[in-house]
Amino acid sequence: MRAIIQTAYGAPEQVLTLAEVEPPTPARGEVLIRTRATTVNTPDWVTVTGTPWALRLRFGLTRPPSPIRGADIAGVVEAVGAGVTDLQPFDAVFGSAWTNTLATPGTYCELAVARDIQLIRKPDALSFEEAASAVTSGLTAMIGLYQVAKVQPGQRVLINGASGGVGTFAVQMAKAMGGHVTAVCSARNEVLVRSLGADAVIDYNREDFTQGDARYDVILDNVMNHPPGRTARALAPGGLFMPNSVGNSGGWFAGLPRMARAWAMGLTGTRVGFITCVLSRENLTALAELLVSGGIRVVIDRTVPLEQAAEAVAYMLTHRARGQIAISVG
Ligand SMILES: NC(=O)c1ccc[n+]([C@@H]2O[C@H](COP(=O)([O-])OP(=O)(O)OC[C@H]3O[C@@H](n4cnc5c(N)ncnc54)[C@H](OP(=O)(O)O)[C@@H]3O)[C@@H](O)[C@H]2O)c1
């Protein structure tokens, strides 16, 4: 099968190449999927570039053991492993192949394996590209706003990084929950975030939300470009800060120290909520419901063919994507 394989850590165009490899075999509890679409998320560029370097301790010192990147997937079941009873060949499915181990098998390939407990049937109303693009970013926004923050009608919600993969879902979901939504992005994305439901827009090139007078009940920070203590000053009394970024790709630690400081603030009185993207069927079903009947749409910046996966990861690294970057396979 055709696959994009990674030969070392480095710039995407230099270390990701198209190759012919043996297809995987589904083990017990796994499903073999003919990939129709996948996408680019933060773990993909982190594991391609090997930055922040500290994360090599987790993902592999010289390169990740598994050569194929990608985790979110939509496709058609080709075969099922032992013990899989509720999915069968020809079912259209979507979900994630992420295993939280060094052995995540990858989805930038024509045939991928994923655990059945991280897959559900794809609603007909969603294209394969929309379904794959929604998984990690949509679940992160959904878990953050519905399960961690539990946004209440009338609450003031600020989304920093409102025009990105997570942000475009978060703006819509916070609005759907009845929040008053302030979106922080650059001026070129104002029309987009207003079309998603933002009540107010702050252009970060003209105004620093941490220095203004406005106070927010919930701050979802997908950028972490301000020291957490400064961001927390924009919280209303009792407000919740959700730090959600390892920052850009630079250096040894990138945004990790800021995440650590945000965590420490949680010990000294600030309400801090971290988002863990739980890839369960229950969460995927709730997300699908929001996408099919809840008025939440998947914003896709661009769709590229599998051969251009390196360009897709490089584009993600610019941190300028509007919504998600989809990779179409087959
Ligand atoms: N907790 C989890 O499980 C989980 C899961 C997925 C992702 N994440 C985290 O979520 C974060 C966001 O991911 P993403 O995929 O949404 O990122 P992304 O798509 O790369 O974000 C790109 C967007 O960020 C905006 N942006 C860049 N600099 C900005 C600034 N200074 N202020 C406001 N907006 C700015 C850009 O808009 P402009 O072009 O207008 O600047 C662009 O639209 C990542 O850092 C990742 O670590 C966490």
Closest CA to 73 of 87, 98, 94: 94
Q: Count of residues for the chain?
A: 330
Residue 258: C-alpha distances to residues 123, 245, 264, 274, 317 (Å): 39, 9, 10, 13, 20
187: left (phi over 0), alpha (psi -120 to 50) or beta: alpha
Q: How confident is the model at residue 41 (pLDDT cuts 50, 70, 90)?
A: very high
Mean pLDDT of 178-199: 98
Ligand 1: distance of its center to the CA of 168 in Å?
A: 10
What value does the mean pLDDT of the chain take?
Answer: 95
Answer yes or no: is pLDDT of 24 > 80.
yes
More confident: 9 or 253: 9
| Residue 43, ligand 1, Cβ within 6 A | no
What's the pLDDT at 12?
97
Q: Distance between CA 295 and CA 298 in Å, rounded?
A: 10
- Number of CB atoms found within 10 A of residue 30's CB: 25
- Which of 109-113, 242-246, 284-288, 300-304 has the lowest average pLDDT? 242-246
What's the pLDDT at 102?
64
Q: Give 46-72 pLDDT, tens digit per residue.
A: 899 998 888 888 888 888 889 999 999
Ligand 1: distance of its center to the CA of 156 in Å?
A: 20
What's the pLDDT at 54?
82
Q: Distance between CA 128 and CA 324 in Å, rounded?
A: 13
Q: Distance between CA 192 and CA 195 in Å, rounded?
A: 5
Distance of CA 8 to the CA centre of its chain: 23
Please, which residues bridge with residue 216 across strands? 235
Contacts of 202 (CB under 8 A, 6+ apart): 182, 183, 184, 185, 209, 212
Closest CA to 143 of 280, 30, 305: 280
Mean pLDDT of 324-329: 98
More confident: 105 or 233: 233
Q: Which of 135, 186, 248, 258 to mutate to test the pocket of ligand 1 (most atoms within 8 A of CB)?
A: 186
3-class SS at 238? strand
**Side chain identity at residue 35, one-letter code:** T
Start and end residues for every CATH 3.40.50.720 domain found in the chain: 137-272
Domain 2-133+278-328 fold is: Quinone Oxidoreductase; Chain A, domain 1 (3.90.180)
Answer yes or no: is pLDDT of 252 > 80.
no
Q: Distance between CA 324 and CA 322 in Å, rounded?
A: 7
Q: How confident is the model at residue 10 (pLDDT cuts 50, 70, 90)?
A: very high
Ligand 1: distance of its center to the CA of 14 in Å?
A: 24
Q: Distance between CA 229 and CA 211 in Å, rounded?
A: 12
Residue 178: C-alpha distances to residues 58, 153, 285 (Å): 39, 4, 22
Residue 171: C-alpha distances to residues 83, 185, 210 (Å): 39, 12, 19
| Residue 164, ligand 1, Cβ within 6 A | yes
- Run of H or E residues at 150: none
Q: Determine the CATH number of domain 137-272.
A: 3.40.50.720
For the chain, what percentages of helix, strand and coil (3-state, to nearest 5) are there?
A: 35, 25, 40
What contacts 24+ positions apart, CB below 8 Å, involve 178-182? 178/151, 178/152, 178/153, 178/154, 179/151, 179/152, 179/153, 179/154, 179/155, 179/218, 180/154, 180/155, 180/156, 181/157, 182/156, 182/157, 182/158, 182/209, 182/214, 182/216
> Which residue has tokens 């250096």?
251
Ligand 1: distance of its center to the CA of 283 in Å?
A: 22
What's the pLDDT at 57?
85
Atom 9, ligand 1: residue with shortest CA distance = 245
In percent, how much of the chain has pLDDT > 70?
98
| Residue 322, ligand 1, Cβ within 6 A | yes
pTM attached to this predicted model: 0.96
| Residue 283, ligand 1, Cβ within 6 A | no
Write the burial class of residue 294 (CB in 10 Å: 0-12 exposed, 13-18 middle, 19+ buried).
middle
Q: Give 210-226 pLDDT, tens digit per residue.
A: 999 999 999 999 999 99
Q: Distance between CA 118 and CA 181 in Å, rounded?
A: 31
Start and end residues for every CATH 3.90.180.10 domain found in the chain: 2-133+278-328
Q: How confident is the model at residue 249 (pLDDT cuts 50, 70, 90)?
A: low
Structure tokens at 146: 């519905």
Mean pLDDT of 14-22: 97
Ligand 1: distance of its center to the CA of 185 in Å?
A: 10
Q: Give 159-172 pLDDT, tens digit per residue.
A: 999 999 999 999 99
Mean pLDDT of 243-265: 83
More confident: 192 or 55: 192
Q: How confident is the model at residue 238 (pLDDT cuts 50, 70, 90)?
A: very high
